[in-house]
Structure 1
Amino acid sequence: MSGMHIGYDLSFTHTEGGWARPGSWTGLEFPDVRMFMELARTAERAGAGLLFFGDGTGIPSTWQGGIGPAVERGVQWPRQDMAPVIAAMSTVTERIGFGLTYSSTFMHPFYVARLLNSLDHVTGGRVAFNVVASTRGADAANYGFDELMDHDLRYERMEEFIAVCRALWDSVAPDAIVRDRATGRFADPGKVHPIDHKGPFFTVKGPLASVPSPQHHPLIVQAGNSPRGIAASARFADLVFGFGGSLPAQHRHRRLLDEALRAEGRDPAGVGILWATQVIVGRTAAEAHARRDEVHSFWDEETVGIHLSHNAGYDLSTLPHSFRLAELRDEIAAAKASPAGLVGSLITEFGENHTMSRAEFFEHGRARATGLDHGLVGDPATVADALEENFAATGARGGYMFSCPLAMPAGFAEVGDLLLPELRRRGALAPARPGSTLRENLAV
């Protein structure tokens, strides 16, 4: 059995009330880079292997059709482009990797391939690209889209996007750069080629006008949980993000991914899943549960609705007093939004013909929004027990992407000071590898 790899999800260190909780941003305000540099140093010392930044480029506006509620409460915003922050964090660390998110639905592959190549140079080969298919109307509007792209079409575009990135990274061979000072010959033109890509979504001449980076291909991460998303993961992902918290759902994801990997001629043993898992750890169980209760006091029905509506791409303020889950799924799908999140989970649990009240739906939604449905709360030994049991039950390939709703840096400091030492004492963590790149160090 291989050990767990651990990542920290830093996507929401300041939203959903985190900016105001005890231990938050003392003397600094988001997005001060010094706070992230401090956290990078402590995370590396604690043994985390990856610092991950999800992203969204629109302020939530789906709930009641406007940005006002999200702006006032600080729900899922503000969000910065974290590429410059990653560059700064890399200067104070040596081994820890950095995951950066861009949308293949809206971005252009030439720009992203060039940026990731540059970041891979700056970090010494420690960059991962988390490619996402966007489902949020607020994001789409900022890129000139009047409506969301069809679900399966988003993944077709994603697959072509990654194919173009890979072709661009390969367009300058690893040994193309000669740098012969005696002759003045900088590079071998026979090893630099246009890609001449013409596809349904992109036309790109190439080559990439950049020096090959340490990893050549930055690590590719993908989190699709639908059958179409899992098929995309199997085609190109080096590492997969999955939803934690439900063992049957984890078994389903791992099984479907393994089947899809074999169909692509890939070895399932070489592709790990990092399960998204919220952790609130305290020195005692009572301390951890008190911290959880403090977080949950932020989430009233409207705040839950803002969060869920934004991520589903559907205005849940319009829900009737009661409804069948299948009806809601079909309405969300008709809006070209995403029914695979909370609604998909509820259908799996209760069946598509189950009639649910609005109040019941929002109570389940509160668990999803707060992370209760994929969270662990307790003292270090209790949380470590649960992680070891789950890791073994899901195939011991990959590890966990920890999020923490407590204040930054205090919440992740407790993870590094209390939980990771307990896992290391048990021999549960993946051993440190001598490699210099993220691709080498996150291998399962």
Structure 2
Amino acid sequence: MNHPDTAFESDPKHLHLAFDLSFTHTEGRWARPGSWAGRTFPDVRMFQELAITAERGGIDMLFFGDGTGLPDTWRGSTDAAVEWGVQWPRHDMSPFIAAMSAVTEHIGFGLTYSSTFMHPFYVARLLNSLDHVTGGRIAFNVVASTRVSDAANYGYDRLPEHGQRYERMDEFIDVCQRLWDSVEPDAIVMDRETGRFADPAKVHAIDHHGAFFDVKGPLTSVPSPQGHPVLVQAGNSPRGIATSAKFADLIFGFGGNLASQTRHRSMLDAELAANGRDPADVGILWATQLVIGRTAEEAAARKNEMLAYWGDEAVGAYLSYNSGYDFSTVGSTVNLGDLNETIVATGASPSGLVGQLVTELGADHDMSRAEFFERGWKHAVGFDTTMSGTAEQLADQLEENFAATGSRGGYMIGNPLSMPSSYVDIIELLVPELRRRGTMGEAYPGRTLRENLAS
């Protein structure tokens, strides 16, 4: 097993795949053809069956993003989000992961918690426990929260400033890592003859006193199979990339735009080198939506279905929540630069829809309200960035993109249509094609998630 502080080395020949299950049941996916019949979220059997199927296909990881607020930015109300199921409901997925691990042996699981609101001792202890339950198959996706509705549930009147959120993340992860190391791997003696359980010299308080946390330690847990979970981070802003370069074993990056991807990869490599880390050791899983068909025509028709389950109110609720700005208030003409400055001033992330439009069209660009919402509609469903085609066509596109972005990491595949059929199609059609080409390596060559990602 690799030392827990050592990031895995990604074989440039091998592409890794994860499934993003964060929104398998929201935005109308529960009603689409190919969705579960007779079961609905949060029936744990849905996730167990998908985990078994995904492991049979050799998928590396099932990933769960998270948010703890109910979208309420659009028109200052939760009504649209509740009525149309926009990024709601969402459960804490840690018990679901435990249940899925009980029916699988190899596949990994990614779990998300916010360093903006959570306490590192609680999270470090929970993830240590889950790493034991899963036999070393846990990844921790640490996020800096960007939504005011989440903040309100933790007693905040507003979000902390963007840079401060990443300063807190720096300290949060440092505390977690020190807690995971506070009980040495060989501290547990369990001498049956003497009854001596552990060596006190190998159990250490951390006595941390920082800007955000005071933690005495040690962690009250036995060291877990991986020592540290695989650490994942998704920061896309310059500040986020700088923070991720300090500790992340794996990056969750925005996909669909090669220019943005190569920019992210280049900035990350520079920051990794500045932190004394080898850029070859840290892969990026690009967030990617795929629609696969047995023919190109079938795939194109299925892709068009993506727009069918969204209405104006659902799109408005989605965009406003994820940007931290009520887009129902925009006028007949939208100046992108002015709107972006207003959004950033609220403390929200600058890398959402408006930030992307500024990058594409320029800060001086004006567009009509109708054009803005048309672009927003396609952004919400990911229409313009969704790849579609046959297994052979998609494999070609993924291989080309993988090479162009450094051949380190792979893809975090989201679900634009329905669960489970969209994922089953990828397992049954795309994965065999990638394996036939040698693009994907041997399934689960290691004992832990960290070892499997190193292949």
TM-score by length of 1: 0.98
The separation in 2 between residues aligned to 1:229 and 1:373, in whole angstroms, is: 25
Q: Is the 8 A contact 1:54 1:101 kept in 2?
A: yes
Which of 433, 444, 451 is residue 422 of structure 1 equivalent to? 433
Query: 1:51-70 to 2 correspondence within 5 Å?
Result: 51-70=62-81
Query: 1:350-389 to 2 correspondence within 5 Å?
Result: 350-389=361-400
Give yes or no for the alignment of 1:245 onto 2:225.
no
- Aligned to 2:17, the other structure's residue is in SS state strand
Structure 1: gaps spanning 5 or more residues: none
The separation in 1 between residues aligned to 2:382 and 2:258, in whole angstroms, is: 15
What is residue 43 of structure 2 aligned with on the other side? 32
Query: 1:123-202 to 2 correspondence within 5 Å?
Result: 123-202=134-213
Give yes or no for the alignment of 1:236 onto 2:247.
yes
Which of 219, 230, 252 is residue 208 of structure 1 equivalent to? 219
Give yes or no for the alignment of 1:340 onto 2:354.
no
One-letter identity of the residue aligned with 2:101: S
What is residue 395 of structure 1 aligned with on the other side? 406
Q: Is the 8 A contact 1:243 1:374 kept in 2?
A: no
Shift in alpha-carbon separation, 1:88–1:289, aligned structure 2, 3 A? same
The separation in 1 between residues aligned to 2:274 and 2:385, in whole angstroms, is: 30
The separation in 2 between residues aligned to 1:175 and 1:136, in whole angstroms, is: 42
The separation in 1 between residues aligned to 2:305 and 2:385, in whole angstroms, is: 18
- Aligned to 1:386, the other structure's residue is in SS state helix
The separation in 1 between residues aligned to 2:118 and 2:58, in whole angstroms, is: 33
Report the number of matched residues.
444
Shift of 1:142: 0.7
The separation in 1 between residues aligned to 2:371 and 2:411, in whole angstroms, is: 30
**1:82-116 C-alpha deviation (Å, 9 max, x unpaired):** 00010011111111100000000011000000000
- Aligned to 1:180, the other structure's residue is in SS state coil
What is residue 294 of structure 1 aligned with on the other side? 305
Report the more deviating stretch, 255-264 or 334-343.
Answer: 334-343
Q: Is the 8 A contact 1:104 1:161 kept in 2?
A: yes
What is residue 131 of structure 2 aligned with on the other side? 120
Structure 2: gaps spanning 5 or more residues: 1-11
Q: Which runs of 4+ in 1 moved over 6 A?
A: none
**1:344-387 C-alpha deviation (Å, 9 max, x unpaired):** 21111111111122222222222221112431111111111111
Give yes or no for the alignment of 1:111 onto 2:122.
yes
Q: Is the 8 A contact 1:117 1:210 kept in 2?
A: yes
The separation in 1 between residues aligned to 2:13 and 2:107, in whole angstroms, is: 19
**1:149-168 C-alpha deviation (Å, 9 max, x unpaired):** 11111000011000010010
The separation in 1 between residues aligned to 2:129 and 2:140, in whole angstroms, is: 13
What is residue 6 of structure 2 aligned with on the other side? none
- Aligned to 1:187, the other structure's residue is in SS state coil
Give yes or no for the alignment of 1:267 onto 2:278.
yes
Shift of 1:323: 2.5
One-letter identity of the residue aligned with 2:58: G
The separation in 2 between residues aligned to 1:154 and 1:374, in whole angstroms, is: 29
Q: Is the 8 A contact 1:280 1:288 kept in 2?
A: yes
Give yes or no for the alignment of 1:94 onto 2:132.
no
Alpha-carbon RMSD: 1.1
Which of 436, 442, 448 is residue 431 of structure 1 equivalent to? 442
Give yes or no for the alignment of 1:311 onto 2:317.
no
Q: Is the 8 A contact 2:251 2:282 kept in 1?
A: yes
Give yes or no for the alignment of 1:221 onto 2:232.
yes
One-letter identity of the residue aligned with 2:66: D
Shift in alpha-carbon separation, 1:69–1:307, aligned structure 2, 3 A? same
One-letter identity of the residue aligned with 1:203: D
The separation in 2 between residues aligned to 1:393 and 1:339, in whole angstroms, is: 25
One-letter identity of the residue aligned with 2:180: W
One-letter identity of the residue aligned with 2:288: T
One-letter identity of the residue aligned with 1:227: P
The separation in 1 between residues aligned to 2:448 and 2:382, in whole angstroms, is: 31
One-letter identity of the residue aligned with 1:239: L
One-letter identity of the residue aligned with 1:121: H
The separation in 1 between residues aligned to 2:283 and 2:371, in whole angstroms, is: 35
TM-score by length of 2: 0.96
